[in-house]
């Protein structure tokens, strides 16, 4: 489908999680808005990588309005919801949610989006805090191992000398040693520290 018409479109996005569930109830609710085009799919909302969602977001143009029954049809997480709203907003497309009685183009709608953003930041800060607390407890109990330290490859010394005497580039050294660039230069830093301390 392509949005070739010059007139602005009213677009509906309908989603259910499984094939057994019926999309008709959502369709009935959204019909009252005089929908021009429907995008429907039976898929989980675990992420934003959904064929009809992506097709809908590609289809809409500036001035269009996307209608949904409620936020849970669009996304399962605050993060994904905010990402979708931002993408639509960047295209000049507004979002109307029937259940939440929200229109992103109104002052009330914009305030609600700001609040959702604050909730997401709060959730994220809490998650990071819990991770930090968990690590602190694990360290105290001697259970925290941290990231497994990467060992230098057996041919490190030979390749390091070739690199330091400019016989090979850093990129080539990484290829031979099968190391990521940042890991290679971390080893170089360690090597120089050892030489300096020695």
- Residues recognised as catalytic: 17
What's the rounded Cα separation, in Å, for the pair 15 and 45?
8
């Amino acid at each position: 489908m392509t949005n070739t018409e010059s007139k602005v479109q009213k677009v509906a996005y309908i989603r259910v999680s499984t094939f057994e569930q019926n999309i008709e109830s959502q369709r009935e609710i959204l019909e009252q808005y005089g929908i021009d085009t429907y995008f429907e799919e039976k898929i989980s909302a675990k992420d934003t990588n959904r064929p009809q969602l992506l097709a809908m977001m590609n289809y809409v143009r500036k001035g269009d309005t996307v209608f949904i029954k409620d936020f849970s049809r669009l996304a399962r997480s605050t993060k994904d919801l905010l990402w979708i709203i931002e993408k639509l907003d960047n295209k000049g497309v507004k979002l109307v949610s029937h259940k939440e009685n929200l229109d992103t183009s109104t002052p009330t709608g914009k305030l609600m989006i700001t609040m959702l953003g604050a909730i997401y930041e709060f959730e994220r800060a809490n998650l990071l805090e819990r991770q930090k607390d968990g690590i602190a407890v694990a360290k105290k109990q001697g259970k925290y191992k941290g990231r497994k330290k990467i060992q230098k490859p057996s041919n490190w010394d030979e390749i390091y000398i070739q690199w330091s005497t400019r016989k090979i580039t850093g990129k080539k050294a990484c290829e031979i040693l099968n190391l990521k660039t940042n890991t290679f230069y971390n080893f170089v830093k360690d090597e120089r520290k050892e030489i300096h301390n020695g």
